[in-house]
A and B are shown apart, each in its own frame.
Chain A
Amino acid sequence: NAGVTQTPKFQVLKTGQSMTLQCAQDMNHEYMSWYRQDPGMGLRLIHYSVGAGITDQGEVPNGYNVSRSTTEDFPLRLLSAAPSQTSVYFCASRRQVFNNSPLHFGNGTRLTVT
């Protein structure tokens, strides 16, 4: 099994450009989420989904959109990139919504906005 796969691994954008970060999991996990990791700030939750068609905001959702049309995929869209969105983005999934199964993380997308 591939686990949680994120593409691309690296991306450079200019201010104002838009892009989509891809996340796919092959573990039939119900719960999926997006985090950003910044020095001194730790991992912060952007958006999450508890199943296909259901999404909700985390603690830092502004400037990002998500959708969940299938169980496997959970793309993150940057609508108009800003330098403040320079970060490492991690997608994470968990087997079921209401249990104590651990989060499985992808290996991240490193985004630079100039």
Chain B
Amino acid sequence: QKEVEQDPGPLSVPEGAIVSLNCTYSNSAFQYFMWYRQYSRKGPELLMYTYSSGNKEDGRFTAQVDKSSKYISLFIRDSQPSDSATYLCASRFGRGYQKVTFGTGTKLQVIP
């Protein structure tokens, strides 16, 4: 079983829709949770970063972590064609530990 599981998609939505991207993880020791966005033929770039449970909002993006159910979510409001990319969730242990464990990514297409 992978430590971080993610539905590969692809997910196709019309412009302006609310997008929900989800991951589950198996290791309860994970404390930091991240979402990376990867455009085609590019490296991943950090989109959102949260510690432990709760919500974090940044513009149209909201990251949510529920540690009781080991569930990580990313919501995109008013989705734009420029949001079309692969979204990778990632987790790591506490401060001082190096390894980041990535999900396999969900490919999102926003249709104009």
Contact = CB atoms under 8 A, between A and B. Distances in A.
A108 B44 CA distance: 10
B42 interface: yes
Interface string A75-103: 00000000000000010100001111011
Interface stretch (A14-22, A42-50, A65-73): A42-50
B43 A100 contact: no
Interface stretch (B12-20, B52-60, B72-80, B91-99): B91-99
B66 interface: no
B41 to A, nearest CB: 7
B8 A98 contact: no
A12 B63 CA distance: 39
A105 interface: yes
Contacts, number: 52
A9 B46 CA distance: 22
Given A40-B104, A41-B104, A42-B102, A98 B41 contact: no
Contacts of B98: 31, 33, 48, 50, 97
Contacts of B8: 40
Interface in B1-42: 2, 4, 6, 8, 32, 34, 41-42
Secondary structure call for the B interface = loop
A17 B51 CA distance: 44
Contact of B43 (A40, A48, A106): A106
Interface residues of B, number: 24
B43 A107 contact: yes
B33 to A, nearest CB: 11
Contacts of B44: 43, 90, 103, 105
B43 A42 contact: no
A50 B32 CA distance: 20
A4 interface: yes
5 contacts: A33-B98, A44-B102, A98-B95, A103-B46, A105-B43
Interface of A: 4, 31, 33, 40-45, 48, 50, 58-59, 90, 92, 97-100, 102-103, 105-108
